[in-house]
Amino acid sequence: MPSIRVLMLGLTFAIVLPLMSFSAYLVMEAAQRAQSLMESELRERARLTAASIDQMLVVVRSRLFAMAASPSLASGDFDAFHDRIADLVRPRSLIVVLTDAAGHTMLSTAVPFGTPLPDFPLQAGFRRVIDSGVPTISGFVPDPITHRPALYMSVLVPTTEHGPCVLSIDVSGVLQDLLEQDRLQDGWAAAVVDREGYVIAHSQDAKRFVGRLGQLDAVARVQSANEGGFTYRSVDGELRDVAFTHVALSGWAVVMGIPDATLMAPVRISTLQLACGGLATLAVALILAGVVGRQVSRPLRELAERGERVGRGERVPLTRTGLRETDSLAQVLHTAAERLVQHAGERQMLLERTVQAQQDERRRIARELHDGLSQYLTALRIGLTGLERRCELDGDAPRRLSALKQLTDQLGQALGRMAWELRPTALDDLGLEKAIAQYLEEWAERYEVRIDQDIHIGPARLPPVVETTLFRVVQEGLTNVVKHAGAEHVAVILHADAAEVRLILEDNGRGMTPPDVAAPGRQLGIVGMRERVVLVGGSIDIESLPNQGTTIYVRIPLAAAAPAVSSA
């Protein structure tokens, strides 16, 4: 049967677990919303960065058109044009390059005017500007003067004294500054990838990534759609979530990425908080359930202990538990205990008087057998002896008289044994210690069984009812040895002190099993011993195994036997 604590724990789980499940649903829902918001913010930041790049390119293109319309270019005064443009672009670290249709560099703001300049590297974009007049943006090309990777936006200058020319501005520095100045959250990174999949700007580590080809699987996904998102593993082995969108004016792609751990942080944090909160809630609930269960179970346990004491016939004090229900039970139990104690006392007194009456009757019968019939038998034997001497009958009359004398002797011995068994005179005259010692010697001689005895009671006499009980237990135990055990050796130990008397009766006989104990003949002897011992407030234990003998332990507290003494 489950205890109250177990029921309280079950009730706690039945209440807490659904609440925790509902809380988990709410927390995970909030965490997933936070994750979705972060993903949306990632996509939005990619769009904003792409729009900023588009706006920057529009501004650069407008300035290129304004520069291309300069009268200095049309008139061929490249020196004046160089000085004016250099003053404008130098604070922004921009480089303006003018080349003719053949790719010869006419001027560069990277060096003073008139410095010999190498030819400009021709690309498909450059030829497209010459042929169509449409502004273009190149891929990464090495600047012939600075030897650094450069991204050129180029426009056509249709009329100069050298014919059509191309005016270009390197926007790589502006693009890199734009990404670095964009305030991203910790762990976020932005990159710009050109049409070929090369990284042309990076917000965190430009020296490491710029100019390198991006990971092929990531580049393929970026080139497959105008915008979107995916998860991939970086060259560092880190799992990252990215959102991308394309720059309309250039065809570049802005890729905005964060570590997957950062994206999943709300879920992990919520899970951790939920686990900690759930465990804390469960712990508090279990503690409360334990406290409440203890507050309830302790009074019930005390009531159960009192019930056991009532079963032993003890008085139970009335104490309050603090709970109305258990106080009511305690009151009922106290009342029942008082009645049981009263009835037990009356029953004990009646039993003691009955036992005392039996002992008195045994003593009276034993004395009558000894003093009355024994005298008659003695007189009869004397008469038969005299008759035998005087009789002159012939034949076998003397032999018959002798047989009658023997029969008279046997009858006297039988009457003596009966009187001794009813009430041993040695128990009254000599005390328990000598009476048992005498009985053991006679018993060992009669049944030819070796017996060891260790009897130490002391000079003080035990209560008569205790002496009688112990003597009868020894007597009944040895009777069982003769009838059932078939033992060759018996040991009797009897010790007494001021508190209690202890008796041990042990044999090396056949032993007993539970069915043997329940056998009618043996059961009567065991039940008789147990009733005698319990009557004087003692206890008896029997240990026995087949072919390992039997041991009887008797313990009689002298305090428990005091009422019997007084009533006797």
Structural contact between residues 152 and 97, judged by C-beta atoms closer than 8 angstroms:
yes
For 475, residues 6+ apart whose C-beta sits below 8 A from its C-beta are 421, 439
Which residue spans within 130-233 are E strands per DSSP? 136-137, 141-142, 149-150, 152-157, 165-170, 189-193, 199-202, 227-233
Residue type, 13: F
**What distances in angstroms separate CA 2 from CA 9, 98, 297, 308, one per listed residue?**
11, 95, 12, 20
Q: Is it true that 1-184+262-296 and 429-568 share their CATH fold?
A: no
In this prediction the pTM is 0.47
Q: What tokens does 58 get?
A: 């529009």
Of 141, 150, 245, 251, the C-alpha closest to 194 is 251
- Largest interatomic CA distance in the chain: 197
Using alpha carbons only, what angle is made at residue 146 by residues 140 and 151, rounded to the nearest 5 degrees? 25
**Bridge partners of 155?**
167
Tokens standing for residue 377? 């038998």
Angle of helix 397-422 versus helix 324-368 axis, rounded to 10: 160
Identify the CATH number of the domain defined by range 1-184+262-296: 3.30.450.20
pLDDT score of 26: 66
372: number of Cβ within 10 Å: 11
**Residue 289 in tokens:** 């359930």
Per-residue pLDDT of the chain (568 residues; tens, 9 = 90+): 555 666 666 666 667 677 667 666 666 676 667 667 777 888 888 888 889 889 988 998 998 898 888 888 888 888 888 888 888 877 667 889 888 888 888 888 888 988 888 887 766 667 788 888 888 888 877 777 877 888 888 898 887 677 788 898 988 888 888 888 877 777 788 889 888 888 888 888 778 888 788 888 888 888 888 888 888 887 777 778 888 998 888 888 999 888 877 766 666 676 777 677 777 777 777 777 677 767 666 776 776 676 677 666 666 676 666 667 667 777 776 777 777 766 666 666 666 666 666 666 666 666 656 555 666 666 666 766 666 666 655 556 666 667 766 777 777 666 666 655 666 666 777 788 888 888 889 888 888 889 999 998 887 888 888 888 898 899 888 888 888 877 889 999 999 988 899 999 999 888 877 655 544 445 557 888 888 888 888 899 999 888 888 999 999 998 755 544 433 3
Contact 255/49 with Cβ under 8 angstroms?
Answer: no
Q: In this structure, are strands 489-496 and 450-456 parallel, antiparallel, or unpaired?
A: parallel
3-state secondary structure 276-326: HHHHHHHHHHHHHHHHHHHHHHHHHHHHHHHHHHHHCCCCCCCCCCCCHHH
* Segments of 197-248 assigned E as strands: 199-202, 227-233, 239-246
Q: Which residues does 269 contact at the CB level (< 8 Å), separation at least 6?
A: 31
- From edge to edge, which strands make up the β-sheet containing 227-233? 199-202, 189-193, 253-259, 239-246, 227-233
**What pLDDT score does 454 carry?**
92
Map residue 189 onto helix, strand or coil. Answer: strand
C-alpha to C-alpha distance for 539 and 552, rounded to whole angstroms: 11
Distances (CA, A) of 259 to 43, 273, 386, 469: 14, 21, 134, 91
Domain ranges of the chain: 1-184+262-296, 429-568
Kindly give, in sequence order, each residue whose CB lies less than 8 Å from that of residue 335, ignoring residues fewer than 6 positions away: none
d(C-alpha 464, C-alpha 561), whole Å: 10
What does the block give as tokens for 185?
Answer: 């959250």
Q: What residues have CB less than 8 Å from 408, skipping those under 6 apart?
A: 377, 380, 381, 384
Tokens 């007084």 correspond to what residue? 566
**Contact present, 23 and 274 (Cβ < 8 Å):** yes
Residue 552: per-residue pLDDT = 93
| CA–CA gap between residue 202 and residue 515 (Å, rounded) | 95
Q: Note the CATH architecture for domain 429-568.
A: 2-Layer Sandwich (3.30)
Beta bridge partners of 253: 193, 246
